[in-house]
Structure 1
Amino acid sequence: MLKTLFATGTALVALSTALSAPAGAQAVGTPDTTPATTTSVDSAPVDKAAVEKADQEGTDIIVTGSTRAQRRFDVSYAINTISKEDVEKIAPVNFADLIGQLPGFQTEITGGEVQNIYRIRGLPNDGGFVSFQQDGLPLFHENDGVFFRGDAILKQDLMTDHVEVVRGGPAPVYASYSGAIVNAITVTGKDVTRGKAQLTLGDTGLYRLDAYQAGPISEKTYYAVGGFLRYHDGYRDNGFPNDKGGQIRANILHELDNGSIKLNVNYVNDHNTFYLPIPTADPRNPSVSLDPYIDYFNGTMNSPALRDVNLKYRDGAGVIQNRNSDLSDGRHMQMVNVGAQYDADFNGWLVSAKGGFTKGKLDFAAFYSTTNPVDGNAFANSYLARTTAAFGAVSRLGYVLAGTNTVYDPNAASGLVMQGQYRDIHSSFYSAQTNLSVAKRFDTGFGSHDLKVGFYGSLYGEDSKTLYQNYLIEVRGQPRTLELVAYSAAGTALGRVTDNGVLNYAATLSQGDSDAKMFALYANDTWEIVKGLRIDAGIRHERYKYTGYASLTAQANLGDATTLADDTTRAFTGAILNQKLSPKATNWTVGANYDFSNHVGVYGRASHLETPPNVQTVMSINPTILTTVADQYEAGLKLASGRSYLYVTGFYTNFDPLNASFLAFDPTTGRNDVNVPFIGKAKVKGIEFDGAWQVKPWFSLNGALTISDPKYKNFESSTGADPTQAEGNQIVRQPKVYGNIRPSFDFDTNGTKISVYGRFTYMGKRYVDLYNNTALPAYGTTGAGVTLCHGSWQVQVVGDNLFNAHGLTEGNTRTDSLSGQGNAEAIYGRPIFGRNFRLVIGKSW
C-alpha cells in the first residue's frame, strides 16, 4: 500500500516535466470556467487583471486569506478551491469527506452527516482549529459550540458556488482560533436567470431534493435562493431515520457604480443522528468476531428502545424532576442567520464591511460508548455485595428485558452484556459578528505595498443543560435494555440494580450560561519588491471578555429503595459559581514568494497562532484553562501550466502547550469524572503533495498525499500516570501517511457528455492511546461514479467503499485514551461505512 502511495507521489512529481500539457479539458480540482469563481467579491475585492490572466490560463482565482482576489498560483500559502464539478466527482458522503480529499486534512467521516473530525497537519486537535465561514464571515464566532461545530450550521448544497480552504499560512490573521479556514462562497445572481434541481436516491434509504435559482430582479439587482430537504434512514441501522430536515439560503445583491451591497439569510432545521463506536470482537478472546451480533458495517448501539427515555434528577430546590428524551431526535439544530455586506472601490481604496447575526438552539440526544462488553455472569456477580447490603439475603442475580418479566440469558447469545451512556444536552446560542477593512495599493520607489487593515468584533454566548445517564444493554445491533434483578433463594425478586434499564441516573449533571465580547485588530502588507518577488506579513491582536456561571452539584440518593440506579446521582445544590475571564491573543505571519515564471515558483512562511480558552470555560466547574501556541513553518514549490499543477509543501509545527488531558469513564460511579491531565508538546514535520495532471484532453489525474511524523514531546501528569510512556509516540488517531488518487475520463459522444471517475483513499496506521499500545490498522477504500449530461439533464450513479474494506476511525475514547484496549489492534471502535450507492438526477436551466 505504501509503495502505491509513494508511486502516486512520484507520478505527481512527473508533472514538472509536463508543463506544456494541453489545457483544453477540465481537470478535477479546477472549475470549468474561471468566471464562476471570480465574480463574487465576498471575501476580497476582485483584481480584474488577475481575473483576465487566470481566465486565459485556466487557473483558479481565490479570495480567502488575501488582500484582494488573485490567482491561486500567486499566493504564498496552501489553498485549494473546490468547485461544484469537484463536489460532483468526489461525491462526498458528508462535508468532512469533501474536505478530507485535500492535502493536509485528515478527517473522520464516520460520525454521521455532521460533527465529524477535521484535523489539520501539524495541529493535534479534533476540529477546534478549523474556522467555517460563509462569504468570509463565520456564522458563529467560535469554531466549536456546545456539541456542535461549523459543519452543523454551514451545510453543503447547490447554493454553494465553491469552497476555498486555507491550510496554515495567513489563517491566524484572517480568522480567530484558526490554523485553517473553510470558506463557502455562495451563489449570487447575474443578468441571466439560471438554476438547477436534483433528486438524490440512495440504497441506505436516502431521499434528498436540492434546488436553487438565481437571476435578475431589476437592472443591477439580483437574487439567489436555494437549499435542500432530506430524509435518510442512515448508513447504520438505528431502527429509526438517521437524518431528516434541511436548510434554505437566499441573498439579494445590488451592484453600485463602484461596488456592491448584498443581503443574505440562512435557515437550518435539521436532525442528524450521531454514530458512536461499537464492539467488534469479544474482549475475552479478541480473535472471536462480534459480527454475528452487531454487524460491522450497519450495526449500531442506537436503538428504538431509547425512543422514550425518562431522565431523572434532583433540582436546586430538592425536587425530583423527570423529563423525556427521544434518541431519534439526534442532533436537532435550528438556526437562523441574517447578514449584510458592502464592498466598494474609492479610487483604489478598497472598503469592505460585513455583518451578521446568528441565533439558534441545539437539542442533542446520543447514545455513547463507555466500557468494553463483559461476561454476563461476571457482571452480575460484581453486584452481589451491593445488592446484599441493600436488599438483604441475595442468592443470585439474573437478567430480564427492561419493562417486562421476560428472562434474558446472555449465554444464549454472545455471553456478554455492556453499558452505554445516554446523553441529553440542550443549548441555545447567539453570535453577532462584524468585519470592517480597508485596503490600498501604494507604489513606492522600491516596489509596491498592498496594505490591508481591519477590525473584527463579536458579541456571542451559549447556555447549556446537560444530563448523562447510563444503561445496561445486550450486545447486538439495536440493543434492548436489560434489568439486573436480585433474587432470594426462593426465587423472589428483592430489588433491582437497574431501573427500567438505567444503571445510573444523572451520572453527570450540569447547567450554565456564558456571554462574551471580543474584538480584533489586524493588518496585512504584501510588498512586491520586483516582479515575482513578494514579501507578505500580517498581525492580529484579539481581546476577549467572558462572564458566566455554572450551577453546582453534589452527590445524592433519590430515595427509591427498590433500585441501586438512583443511589449515587448528581443533584443541583441551588448554588451557582460566577466566573469571569479575560484572555487575549496575538497572531502573526510572515511569508516570502518568488515566481521564476508564470509556471514555476517557490515560497516560505512562518506563522504564530495563539488560541485562548473558549467561552465555555466560564460555565464549567474546574475547567483546564490554557492558551495554546502553535508555531508553524512552511516551504513550498509551485508548478503550474494550464489545468495541470503540482504544489509541494514542507511543514513543521511546534505546538506548546498541548493539552491531551481527558475525562475517563469510571464504571464504579458511572461518571465521566476521572480526570487524567496530560500537558506537553507536539512536534509535527512532514510534506504534502497536491497535484492535477491533464494527461490527455479526455483524461486527468488528481491526487493528494501527506507524509508526516506527528510526535508527543515533554509530557507531564499530576495524577500518577507515567508521562514518559508517551514520549516520542505517534499522536493519537493521527496517521503518518494519508492521501487519495482521483482519475477522471471525460468525453463527448453524440451530444452526450460522459464522465467516468474513481477515487482511492488511503489512511495509514494510527493509535487509540497516548502510550501507542492499541493500533487502528491502515485501510484503503475505493469509490467510482459515472455522470451523463445531455442538454439540460444530468444523471449520476456513484458508489462508495465498493469492496467493503474494513477500517476504524477511532477507538473507545471514554476508556482507552491512556493505555489502550489491552489488545494490539482495536476491538472497540467506529467502523467506516460499508458499500453504498446513490443515484442523482438533475435538470439545469
Structure 2
Amino acid sequence: MTHRHLLATTATAALLFTSPLHAQTAAAQDDSSAATKPSDIIVTGSSRPERRFDVDYAVNVLSQKDVQKIAPKSMADLLSNVPGIQVEETGGEVQNVTRLRGIPTDRGYLLFQQDGLPLFQELDGYFFNGGDGMNRNDLMTDHVEVVRGGPAPIYGSSAAGIVNNITVTGSNVARGRAQLTIGDTGLYRLDAYQAGPLGHDTYYAIGGFLRYHDGYRDNGFPNDKGGQIRANIKHDLASGGSIKISGMYVNDHNSFYLPIPVANPNNPSQSLNPWINYFSGTMNSPTFENVNIKYRDGSGTVKSINRDLSNGRYMNFFNAAVDYEDHFGPWNVSVKTGFTKGKSSFDALYSTTNPQDANTFANSYLTAARTAFGSGVTSLGYAIAGTNGATPYNPYSQSGLVMSAQYRATNSNFYSWQSDASIARQFDTGLGHHDLKVGLYGAIWGETEFGVYQDYLIPVTGQPQTLDLVAYGASGNVLGYVTDNGALHDASTLAQGKVDSKMIALYANDTWDITDKLRVDAGIRQEWYHYSGWAANTTAVNLGNATTLADDATQAFTGSIKINTLSPSATNWTVGANYDVSHHLGAYIRASRLVIPASSSNMMSTSASTISSKAYQYEAGIKAQAHGSYLYLTGFYTKFSPLNSSFAAYNATTGLNNQTVTFISDVVTKGIEGDGHVKVNRFFSIDASVTVQDPQYKNLSSGTSADLSIVEGKQIIRDPKIYGHVRPTFDFDMAGNHASLYGSYEFVGRRFVDASNNTALPAYGTFGAGLIVTRNKWLFQVVADNLTNAKGLTEGNTRTDTISGQGTADAVYGRPIFGRNFRVILSKSW
C-alpha cells in the first residue's frame, strides 16, 4: 500500500487516546427553561419537529460537528456509532452490511432517505442499494437522523428503521467551508460547500466532494475515484411556508473487497500472511483489468465482452426534488417529490470455493480430462494462463494452495419517482391534545438487469495471476486444458431482465398528549404494489471448443422469456406510549408491525419469489438527562419471519450429517441497547454505546424428516451478542487554540459463519485516537484507527459456509477489518 508512512510523524500526538461519539446529541438542557439547541430537534418519524427527549421511540441525531469528530471512513462506519445497528464495514467505502436489532438481512430493512424521501424506492436494486450505495456523507449533510423501530414502518416502505440525511440550506448569513483530507492509504479528498442569501427571502446552498483513494487493500489499481455535488434553492413564502428545489449528481467508482483466506484450511495453525497479507492483501488484481467473458445469446451466437475490475461499483445518477411546506389556518401541508435516474455497472471478484491443496484440486479433474482428451493424459499441471502451458507454475513454491474466484459483471439502468403529500393539524379535545397527520405516498420505479459471471482459477496470493490447468501426455506434450485462458467455467451464471413497478400508500398517525406528562402515539400505513417484469430463460450448452473443459456447461439465453407479475399489499402499524416523570426522567413503550413484500427485482428472475415477510418489534425505553449528561436505555424484542435458510442435517440413510435441508424459521432477538454521554466536568466527557442481544433461530420447519434440532436456538449467522464503543474526550484551551483530544475502543463479540454454529468469527476490539485543534475559522485534525493492528474477521465465505461452516473451529476465510491507518484533515470556514 502506498503512502503508508505519510502521516506517522504528524499523528504521534494523537496516539494516547481514542475517538468519541459526541454524536448522540444531548437531548435537552438542565431544566425546561433552557434554550433548545438546533441539534436537539428531530423531524424523522414525527408529525412536526420535536426534541429527542420528548418522542416515544429510539432516535439518534448526528450533527455535522459530531461527524467531524467521528471522521468516518464510510456511511456504514458512521452508523456503527449508533446502538442497535451492527455494521460490517469491511467491503469498502460503499454498500456495506448493516443489521438492525438482529433482522437477518444485509440491509436490516434500514431505509435511507434524503430530506424525507428515498433516492430509490427499494432498499436494493440490481447490485446496488438505496442506502450507502447511493448516499454519501459530505459537508452538504447538515445532520443525520436515525430512527430504530418505532414509527419507521409508518413513514417509509419496508422500513424497520430510517436513516434520514438532512441537507444544508441557506440563510441570511453567508457561510461556507472547504476541507482537505489526506490519508496514508493513498487518500486525497476535497470537500466544500457554500450557502447564503440569493435575494429577498431566497437562499441557496451548494457543495460536494471529490476523492481519490488507493484503498485500504492493495488492488494494484485505485479503490475509489469520483465524487458528488448537491445544491438547493429555498424560498420562504409570506405565509410562513417555504418551497425548496434540490438537485444532486453522483459519479463515483468504488472497488469491492471480498473475503480472503487467512489460514491454511488443511492446517489452520499455518498463517497465509506470507502470501496474502492480512491487512493489505486482496484477491483483486490488475490481471482482471481486461477479462474476456463468453456466453451465447438467444440467436445461438457466441458473444464476448471485455470487462475491467478497476471499474468497480460505478454509480452514475442524478436526483431532482421539490419540497413544499405551508400553513393554511390550523393545517400544515407538506408535499415532497423527487425523481432519480441513473445507471450502475458492477465489476467484482467474488470468493467461491475455499482453498484446496493444489494436487488434490488437479486430481479431481483427471477423470474428466481423460474423458475429453483421451487416455493418453498422464497428469495435470499448472501454468500461467495464456502461455499455452509454456510457463509452468509450481503452487508449492508458495502456499501449495489454489482456489477459484468468480468475476461478476453486471449492468443496470434505473429510475425512481417518489412523492409524499401530507396534512397535519393540532387540536384539543375534552381529554388532551392531538397532533394528527394523514398522508399519501406514491412511487413509480423500475430497472433493467444484465449479469454474467465467470469462474477463474487462481493461486492463493495477493494480486494473483490466473492459472491454466493443463492436461499433459507422457512426453510432456499438451493434450488439452481444464481451463480456458484462466477461466475455469465460462459464463457460469447469466441473467437478463426488466421490471417496472408502482405503489401507493395511505398512512395516518396521531400523537395524543393526554396530560403534560402522558403521551400515546398510534399510526397505520396501508400499501398496494404492482410489479410487471420479465426474465430471459437460460440453459447450459457446450460452446464446442474441444481443447478445453471450461465451455462444456456455458450458460446461454434460449431466446424465450418468462413474464412475471405480482400485486402484493402490506398493512403496517405502530402504537406507543410515553410518560415523563419530570423534565429529566421519562419512559416509553412501543410495538410495531412491518410487512415486507417480495421485492420487484424478483420479477427479473425465472424463479420469482412471492413471499412476504413480517417484522414485529417491541421496545421499552428509559431516558434520563441532567447537568449536560444523558442516558437512553432501550430493551427490544424483534421477531422476523419467515426466514428461508439451508443447512446440513442428519441423514438416516447414510448416518451422516450430509443431507442438505432447506428450512423455514423465525428469527427472534431479545436485547438491550444503550447510549449515553457523561459530562464529568468542562474538560472531560465520555460517550458510550452498547448493544447486548441474543439473536436465535426459532420454530424451524421443513418438508423433510431431517433433524432440525442442531439449528434450533442457535445464534444467527454473523450476528454478535454484544457490540459497541466507548469514547472519552478531553477538551482544553492552549495559546488561543481550542483542542479536543479523544479516543475510542470499539468491540464486536463472537459470531458464526454458519447456522449450526460450527465455525466462529472470533470477537475483536480496536483502539483509535484523534486530535482536533481549532483557531478562529481554521481546523486541524488527525485521526488514527486500529492503532494496535488488531485482527478481526467479518462475513466468512458466504458462498460455501452457511450450511456447515469451514471445517475449523475458527474461521480461516473471511473479510478482515482494516489495519492501522491515519488521516489528516485541514479545513477553513467562513
Q: Which TM-score band (shorter chain)?
A: over 0.9
Report the RMSD for the aligned CA atoms in angstroms: 1.8
Q: Which of 790, 798, 801 is residue 775 of structure 2 equivalent to?
A: 790
In structure 1, what is the equivalent of residue 343 of structure 2?
361
In the alignment, what sits opposite 1:106? 86
Report the counterpart of residue 367 of structure 2 in structure 1: 385
Q: In structure 2, how many angstroms separate the alpha carbons of the residues matched to 1:154 and 1:93? A: 13
Structure 1 match to 2:689: 704
Answer yes or no: is 1:626 the counterpart of 2:626: no
Checking the alignment, whether the CA contact within 8 Å between 2:671 and 2:691 is kept in structure 1 is yes
Pair 1:400-2:383 in alignment: yes
Equivalent residue of 2:725, what SS?
Answer: strand
Q: Which range is displaced more, 638-647 or 94-103?
A: 638-647
**Whole-Å separation in 1 of the counterparts to 2:324 and 2:104:** 37
SS at match of 2:180: strand
Contact 2:647 2:756 (C-alpha < 8 Å) held by counterparts: no
C-alpha separation in 1, matches of 2:170 and 2:26 = 19
* 1:723-738 aligned within 5 A: 723-738=708-723
What letter matches 1:394 in structure 2?
V
Which residue, out of 295, 298, 303, partners 2:285? Answer: 303
In the other structure, the counterpart of 2:748 is: 763
Q: Residues 530 and 82 from structure 1, CA distance in 2 versus in 1: closer, same or farther, beyond 3 angstroms? A: same
Is 1:276 aligned with 2:275?
no
**Kept in 2: contact 1:372–1:828 (CA 8 A):** yes
Tell me, yes or no, if structure 1 residue 29 matches structure 2 residue 29: no
Amino acid at match of 2:279: F
**Aligned position for 2:497:** 512
| 1:339 Cα deviation after fit | 0.4
Letter in 2 for 1:372: N
Indicate whether 1:835 and 2:825 are aligned.
no
Look up the match of 1:153: 134
Q: Is the 8 A contact 2:170 2:204 kept in 1?
A: yes
Identify the residue that residue 324 of structure 2 maps to in structure 1: 342
Q: Aligned pair 1:530/2:515, yes or no?
A: yes
Partners in 2 of 1:59 and 1:460 — Cα distance? 34
3-state DSSP of counterpart to 2:359 = helix
Alpha-carbon distance, 1:54 to partner: 6.8
TM-score, normalised relative to structure 1: 0.92
CA offset at residue 196 of structure 1? Answer: 0.5
Cα offsets for 1:733-758 (capped at 9, x unmatched):
00111110111111222221101111
Residues 210 and 27 of structure 1: is their aligned pair in 2 closer, same or farther, counting only changes over 3 Å?
closer
Pair 1:217 & 2:211 matched: no
> Which residue is equivalent to 1:416?
401
Task: Read off the aligned partner of 2:772 and give its amino acid letter.
Answer: T
8 Å CA contact 2:143, 2:167 repeated in 1: yes
Q: Separation in 2 of the partners of 1:177 and 1:546?
A: 16
Contact 2:53 2:623 in 1 (8 A): yes
Alpha-carbon offset, residue 677 of structure 1: 3.0
Q: CA deviation at 1:31?
A: 5.8
CA contact (8 A) 1:59 1:643 kept: no
* AA at the equivalent of 1:575: S
* One-letter amino acid of the counterpart of residue 476, structure 1: T
Equivalent residue number for residue 651 of structure 2:
none
**Closer/same/farther in 2, CA of residues 566 and 787 from structure 1, 3 Å limit:** same
Once the two structures are superposed, the pairs formed by residues 663-742 of structure 1 within 5 Å of their partners are: 677-718=662-703, 722-742=707-727
Q: 1:720 to 1:93 in 2, by over 3 A?
A: farther
In 2, are the aligned partners of 1:59 and 1:72 still within 8 Å (CA)? no
Counterpart CA distance in 2 for 1:365 and 1:354 is 35
> What's 1:667 paired with?
none
Contact 1:128-1:177 within 8 A present in 2 as well:
no
CA distance in 2 between partners of 1:206 and 1:631 (Å): 42
Say if 1:27 and 1:694, in contact at 8 Å, map to a contact too.
no
State how far apart, in whole Å, the 1-side matches of 2:484 and 2:622 are: 63
Structure 2 spans left out of the alignment, 5+ residues: 1-19, 649-658
| 4+ runs deviating over 4 angstroms | 30-35, 51-54, 56-59, 718-722
Change (3 A) 1:57 1:192: closer
* CA 30–466 in structure 1, closer or farther in 2 if over 3 Å, else same: closer
SS at match of 2:793: coil
CA contact (8 A) 1:27 1:644 kept: no
Q: Distance in 2 between matches of 1:103 and 1:276?
A: 26
Gap change, CA 1:53 and 1:576, over 3 Å in 2: farther
The separation in 1 between residues aligned to 2:759 and 2:705, in whole angstroms, is 21
Instruction: Pick the aligned partner of 2:57 from 67, 77, 81.
Output: 77
Which runs of structure 2 are paired with 1:746-761 in the superposition (5 Å)?
Answer: 746-761=731-746
CA 662–433 in structure 1, closer or farther in 2 if over 3 Å, else same:
farther
Q: Deviations 1:285-325 (Å, cap 9, x if unpaired)?
A: 11111010000001000000000000100000000000100
1:609 alignment counterpart? 594
C-alpha spacing 1:578/1:481, structure 2 compared with 1 (3 Å): same
Instruction: Say whether the 8 Å CA contact 2:711–2:755 is kept in structure 1.
Output: yes
Q: What is the DSSP-based 3-state SS (H/G/I as helix, E as strand, rest coil) of the residue aligned with 1:341? A: strand
What residue ranges of structure 1 are gaps of 5+ in the alignment? 1-25, 36-50, 664-673
Is the CA contact 1:111–1:276 (under 8 Å) kept in the aligned structure 2? yes
How far apart are residue 348 of structure 1 and its match?
2.3
The amino acid that maps onto 2:155 is Y
2:655 equivalent in structure 1: none
- Does residue 411 of structure 2 align to residue 426 of structure 1? yes
Alignment length (residue pairs): 795
Are 2:538 and 1:553 aligned? yes
What is the one-letter code of the residue matched to 1:192? V
Deviations 1:504-550 (A, max 9, x none): 01100011100101000000000111111000000000000000000
Find the aligned partners of 1:662 and 1:116 in 2 and give their Cα distance.
Answer: 25
Decide whether aligned partners of structure 1 residues 362 and 718 sit closer, same or farther in structure 2, where only a CA change above 3 A counts: farther
Give the % identical residues: 60
CA contact (8 A) 1:58 1:642 kept: no
Shift of 1:657: 1.3
Query: Is 1:570 aligned with 2:551?
Result: no
Could you tell me how far apart the structure 1 residues matched to 2:60 and 2:757 are?
Answer: 33
What residue number does 1:375 align with? 357
- For the Cα contact (< 8 Å) 1:702–1:742, is it kept in 2? yes
2:290 partner amino acid: D
**1:127 is the counterpart of 2:107:** yes
| Pair 317,607 (structure 1): closer, same or farther in 2 beyond 3 Å | same
Of 355-364 and 621-630, deviating more is 621-630
In the superposition, the TM-score normalised over structure 2's length comes to 0.94
Distance in structure 1 (CA, Å) of the matches to 2:166 and 2:325: 15
1:144 is paired with a residue whose SS is: coil
> How far has the Cα of 1:841 moved from its partner?
0.8
CA contact (8 A) 2:108 2:160 kept: no
CA contact (8 A) 2:23 2:67 kept: no
Q: 1:603 to 1:31 in 2, by over 3 A?
A: closer
**1:236: which partner in 2?**
217
Report the equivalent of 2:653. none
1:312 aligns with 2:294: yes
Q: Is the 8 A contact 1:198 1:840 kept in 2?
A: yes
Q: Deviations over 1:148-201 (max 9, x none)?
A: 121121110000000000000000000010111000000000111101111110
The Cα shift of 1:57 comes to 7.1
1 CA distance for matches of 2:700 and 2:483?
40
Looking at structure 1, the residues matched to 139 and 27 of structure 2 have their Cα atoms a distance apart, in angstroms, of: 17
Q: Which moved more, 1:746-755 or 1:134-143?
A: 746-755
Identify if the C-alpha distance between structure 1 residues 54 and 631 changes in structure 2 by more than 3 Å, giving closer, same or farther: farther
Contact 2:630 2:677 (C-alpha < 8 Å) held by counterparts: yes
Alignment-derived partner of residue 177 in structure 2: 196
Please give the alpha-carbon distance, in whole angstroms, between the structure 2 residues aligned to 1:145 and 1:220.
39
Q: Which whole-Å CA distance do the structure 1 matches of 2:552 and 2:33 have between them?
A: 72
What letter is aligned with 2:638? T
Write the letter of the residue equivalent to 1:302. N
Q: Paired residue for 2:41?
A: 61
Rounded to whole Å, the distance in 2 between the matches of 1:844 and 1:329 is 35
Counterpart-to-counterpart distance in 1, 2:432 and 2:505: 29
